[in-house]
């Protein structure tokens, strides 16, 4: 029996469609996530299960959803509202990066349940930031304005599999077990990043400018966070599928 892997989704409010003159979708809020996550999970031996943001779900419903999946992936997307890590949030219209507090709050509840029920957790891009904030860490709201670097961490999505920069991996880490390398090239599509690392995590990979690229939980739960996007690269680089194969094996051991 293949394991069911929950995949978080974003919510696109109808106002966003109206701004882009998509008239026929006016009034409809939609759940959405890149198909790359589902394809990577299926290719790695799992069954993808999309988890929509639910308006009325209480904690019992959340627990029931999480109890029926064998692991959960927190996906990329919008910025996390900075009020969750102690910074005044200025609501700036920056398109897909614009924060969505509804998504934040719902995913924090999913994460809380997954930790309680000891489900393996993988956070990618926004997902690693979500993990860090939930456990008490902070973020750079915008790397380019807050951090001196010669790396463009926000690459163009029209070439999603393109390797953008190198990262160095801690040899005593889950990520090293996955790649069996201490250096790899990765893609990069983020303008925010981890600033203060949550106490329960250790940094296991950094870019050459020292921006955090991966963290792992030091407690009993399996929790791994990646700032790059292996799901976007695996079709052109089969090695990137190793992340999902490793994650799925962890779900099968429980």
Establish whether 229 is a catalytic residue: yes
For tokens 């394809």, name the residue.
39
Side-chain half-sphere CA neighbours of 207 within 13 A: 23
> Residue 51: which of 60, 38, 42, 39 has the closest Cα?
38
Q: Catalytic residue among 153, 165, 190, 229, which?
A: 229
∠38-155-25 over CA atoms, to 5°? 55
Are 133 and 139 spatial neighbours (Cβ–Cβ below 8 Å)?
yes
Rounded CA-CA distance 138/87 in Å is 9
Rounded CA-CA distance 249/3 in Å is 9
Establish whether 159 is a catalytic residue: no
Burial class (CB in 10 A: 0-12, 13-18, 19+), 176: middle
Q: Catalytic residue among 107, 125, 165, 190, which?
A: 125
Establish whether 125 is a catalytic residue: yes
Q: Catalytic residue among 107, 213, 216, 231, which?
A: 231
Residues recognised as catalytic: 125, 229, 231
């Amino acid at each position: 029996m293949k394991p069911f892997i929950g995949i978080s989704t974003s919510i696109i409010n109808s106002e966003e469609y109206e701004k882009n003159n998509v008239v026929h979708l006016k009034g409809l809020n939609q759940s959405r996530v890149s198909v790359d996550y589902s394809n990577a999970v299926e290719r790695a031996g799992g069954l993808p299960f999309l988890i929509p943001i639910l308006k009325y779900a209480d904690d019992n419903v959340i627990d029931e959803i999480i109890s029926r999946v064998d692991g959960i992936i927190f996906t990329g997307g919008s910025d996390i509202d900075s009020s969750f890590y102690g910074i005044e949030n200025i609501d700036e219209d920056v398109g897909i990066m614009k924060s969505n507090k509804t998504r934040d709050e719902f995913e924090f509840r999913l994460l809380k349940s997954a930790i309680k029920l000891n489900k393996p957790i993988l956070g990618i891009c926004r997902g690693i930031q979500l993990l860090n904030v939930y456990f008490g860490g902070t973020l750079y709201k915008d790397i380019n304005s807050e951090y001196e670097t010669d790396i463009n961490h926000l690459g163009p999505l029209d070439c999603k599999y393109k390797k953008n920069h190198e990262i160095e991996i801690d040899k005593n880490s889950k990520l090293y077990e996955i790649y069996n390398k201490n250096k790899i090239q990765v893609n990069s599509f983020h303008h925010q990043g981890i600033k203060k690392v949550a106490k329960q995590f250790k940094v296991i990979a950094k870019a050459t400018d020292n921006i955090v690229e991966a963290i792992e939980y030091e407690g009993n739960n399996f929790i791994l966070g990646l700032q790059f996007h292996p799901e976007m690269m695996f079709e052109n680089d089969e090695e990137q599928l190793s992340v999902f194969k490793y994650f799925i094996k962890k779900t099968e051991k429980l």
